[in-house]
Structure 1
């Protein structure tokens, strides 16, 4: 598995893999982002409310995530709606089930992110 292959490196990396007879099984775009709010409530306000029980790492970590318009064969939708856009145009996202539980999130929650230094809301 290789990460952080830049556009100008792609041909060289693929040539190296081909020379080693290693197939490219999948190309997946990855972006870096940080959570800035949950349901309109800022991360700083959530941090102060210890009664919520949201682990600090949920609020402070840098997430490296992918984006696609469909699930792949190793993924299974167990609740909610497949990633798409809501009728108002808001992107719907999917998260891994145990993350949903550990982060104290529920279906329908609204998450705001800073994506690679640019505030994006809502997600």
Structure 2
């Protein structure tokens, strides 16, 4: 799997860079190496590096695991991030792939 560096000019990457900066700052404040953090959070050290550089976007569950190791909550992690991202007009709208369940014949469900 190859990753490309984030460019600060891309609005989406501004969020990734802000999350990465916050992670690195929190990790350094806790005096934990990337290797220790990765090991205790059960993820690869390379992934920690990619998050910190704004190249990778971790899931909320991965961030929660990282925050646990750093001794903080997700709320504390995001509290110092003052960035928002408006929807991009040129991006295709994500479709809802969920399909409603079909009522079985004779069902009393409305």
TM (norm. structure 1) is 0.28
Considering only CA atoms, is the larger Rg found in Structure 1 or Structure 2? Answer: 2
TM (norm. structure 2) is 0.30
More helix as a share of residues: 2
